Structure 1
Amino acid sequence: MSANFPTLRLHYRDGVVAARDGVVVSFFMPHDHKIVAQACWRALESYVRAIPPQSLNWYGADDGDVLELDEDGWEVIRKRMVDQPSRLAWYVSLSDLDGGTGGYQFEYHSWRIQHPLRAGSSTAMSFTFPTEFLLDQGPQRMRALVLELARELPFHFGYASFALVSRQGSWTAGDWKVLDEYFARYLGVDLPDVDSIGIQALGAHWLTFLGPPLLDRMGGFEALRQALPFPEVSFLPMEQERLLVTLSEWPDAIDVEKAPIPPQYRALACFLKPFMYKPEEDDGIGNYLDRWRRRLCP
């Protein structure tokens, strides 16, 4: 596969970009904030080193306002992520633009663990990049960067994918007719949602990360190897019984007007189907996301 990505844009009514094409990297960890905070902070530091200077300029304040991410703002974020104040949930949102999106964003959500573990507890974080970053870096350097972000994280599931990047789900404020047109054609586009997914999965992606306890429930590395006997697929065992599955050289927008769904994407989607996250609340947005996540293996 070569680099051939569509230009995707959703706009607010005033013309500001609500969502755009890019790459999302997300990780989901069945652990409390106090266990993962240091590793997540180091991953954020790696992300900041990798992207162009001043790519992150705004952060969400506790009162809902958006403030400039200067040195004082970074200290607020460090305290929020590292000092571990006593609370029921932790939340960090960093972005490049105030109001719109240019492609660089970071989100961190951590909910106090509840036992037995279920949706509504655990930790999730995501990093996004504009498509131009991927094209400039190339797939091998991009994959190496994603591995660096993942290296210390005790994830049970994670992924990197071509995506429709938006701030905190603001794609919902865009033109739904345009969104439906995109999704009828580009089945490889992810709709990022930094949410608690318990110990479930979120479908097949360009890079799919699996770890305990989810990987154990699936039958381990050998079960995946048997389910994905394709020359395009590679497996990289990682420390702490984790695994990276790479489905193709580049992320794939899966333009069905030009080619069918790659068989390795469909095979992994079907393999993961019994382990897929299902929203607890029956609402319109949740159902829309759930249907989209299952599109490669309905």
Structure 2
Amino acid sequence: MRENIPVIRLQPDLGDDGVVARDGVVICFFMRHSHGEVAPAIWRALQTYLRAIPPQALAWYGSPDGDTLPLDDKGWEHIRKKMLERPQRNACHIHLEEDCSAVGGYHFEYDGRRLDAPLFSDNENATSGVLFTFPTEYLLEHGPAHLHALTLELARELPFSFGYASLAIVAPHGLWFAARRSVIPLLSRYLGLDIYRLRETSGHIGTRARGAYWLTFLGQPLLGQLGGEEGLRHKLSFPQVSFQPLEGERLLITLGEWPDAIDTANGAYVPEYRTLAHLLEPYLYEERDDWFSLLPPGTDNMRRWIRRLCQ
């Protein structure tokens, strides 16, 4: 399966030399909890991520005034205080990057919300969200079993309602918009590639699902709505699919040893992905902002893309 993972380096449509999107792996979790409730767990998960990646792989952070600053000792102390010493603030948004001039493979983003704050008019669907990315080279060097175990270690720290790990177009802050003419053919060909904008999705997903992925984490109430572990085992009875119960009535579903890019040009046939996608379809969320609408040919691209494996 490793030979089917595409190599992606996208430059802006306007011809700049910088890389704005690349191939990689994204791990993402959504939690129906306020920042003050999950901040210590997020910090512990970040420490787990840092131990797993090369030293200084995260070298820059976003400052409150919009600048990108070196992530030195002073920067880390700022991040720690922002996350842990002001838990009652309305929101806590943190992004840490490998490179400030081009998209690297390592990226951490956290969007913590205070869900009972009056400034959130859509509180019933808002969550706190977190993501971690890796370059594909990390997966190829360490193997899928290592990344699987690391993702599980991250998940155990977090009170998620839904989460996933997937091959992805890695592009922090939605930088893939700058290369959107190249992104559309990739997404049309590789149905197993994820594309993400954490802040937008965490604001609307609630306790619903985003799709079927290599590693799909189900919390409550979604797991119960799907018939629980026993019901899912019966409906996903493929030899390559495994189930791992987690504390707190949660479940990890693994769709094969390796993540699959699902290359339609090679006639990829992935019944396990499509079956899980169909099971999740009644519980898929609707993006409030159709950020795919900037991409031709229509205005319903986001909805159709989320349901790409249901067709």
TM-score range, shorter chain: over 0.9
Residues 256 and 144 of structure 1, relative CA distance in 2, 3 Å threshold: same
Query: What TM-score, normalized by structure 1, do the two folds share?
Result: 0.95
Residue type of the alignment partner of 1:179:
V
Q: CA deviation at 1:117?
A: 5.0
Aligned-residue sequence identity (percent) comes to 51
Q: CA deviation at 1:287?
A: 4.5
Aligned residue in 1 for 2:131: 126
Matched, 1:264 2:278: no
| Partners of 2:232 and 2:222 in 1: CA distance | 12
Q: CA deviation at 1:37?
A: 0.6
Residues 260 and 52 of structure 1, relative CA distance in 2, 3 Å threshold: same
SS of the residue corresponding to residue 110 of structure 2 reads strand
| Partners of 2:138 and 2:222 in 1: CA distance | 31
Residues 249 and 3 of structure 1, relative CA distance in 2, 3 Å threshold: farther
Cα shift readout 1:22-49 (whole Å, capped 9, x = no counterpart):
0000000011111111011000000011
Aligned pairs (5 A) from 1:100-115: 100-114=102-116
Aligned residue in 1 for 2:25: 23
Aligned with 2:251 (options 243, 260, 283): 243
Aligned residue in 2 for 1:170: 175
Question: Aligned residues, how many?
Answer: 296
Matched, 1:207 2:211: no
Residue type of the alignment partner of 1:149:
L
Q: CA deviation at 1:282?
A: 5.0
SS of the residue corresponding to residue 168 of structure 1 reads helix
Aligned residue in 2 for 1:179: 183
Residues 289 and 114 of structure 1, relative CA distance in 2, 3 Å threshold: farther
Q: CA deviation at 1:72?
A: 0.5
**Structure 1 unmatched runs, 5+:** none
Write 1 or 2 for the structure with the bigger share of helix.
2
Aligned residue in 1 for 2:81: 79
Aligned residue in 1 for 2:156: 151
Aligned residue in 2 for 1:10: 10
Q: CA deviation at 1:84?
A: 2.5
Aligned with 1:135 (options 131, 136, 140): 140
Aligned residue in 2 for 1:274: 282
* Residue range with higher mean Cα deviation, 253-262 or 63-72: 253-262
Contact 1:56–1:105, Cα closer than 8 Å, also in 2: yes
Aligned residue in 2 for 1:62: 64
Matched, 1:296 2:309: yes
* Residue range with higher mean Cα deviation, 1-10 or 285-294: 285-294
Aligned residue in 2 for 1:191: 195
Q: CA deviation at 1:275?
A: 0.5
Residue type of the alignment partner of 1:213:
P
SS of the residue corresponding to residue 75 of structure 1 reads helix
SS of the residue corresponding to residue 52 of structure 1 reads coil
Cα shift readout 1:220-241 (whole Å, capped 9, x = no counterpart):
1122112211111000001111
Residues 54 and 34 of structure 1, relative CA distance in 2, 3 Å threshold: same
Aligned residue in 2 for 1:219: 227
**What RMSD over aligned residues (CA atoms) do the two structures have, in Å?**
1.7
Residue type of the alignment partner of 2:7:
T
Contact 1:156–1:199, Cα closer than 8 Å, also in 2: yes
SS of the residue corresponding to residue 36 of structure 1 reads helix
| Partners of 1:122 and 1:114 in 2: CA distance | 11
| Partners of 1:208 and 1:138 in 2: CA distance | 18
Matched, 1:35 2:40: no
Aligned residue in 2 for 1:47: 49
Residue type of the alignment partner of 1:43:
A
Residues 271 and 114 of structure 1, relative CA distance in 2, 3 Å threshold: farther
Q: CA deviation at 1:250?
A: 0.4
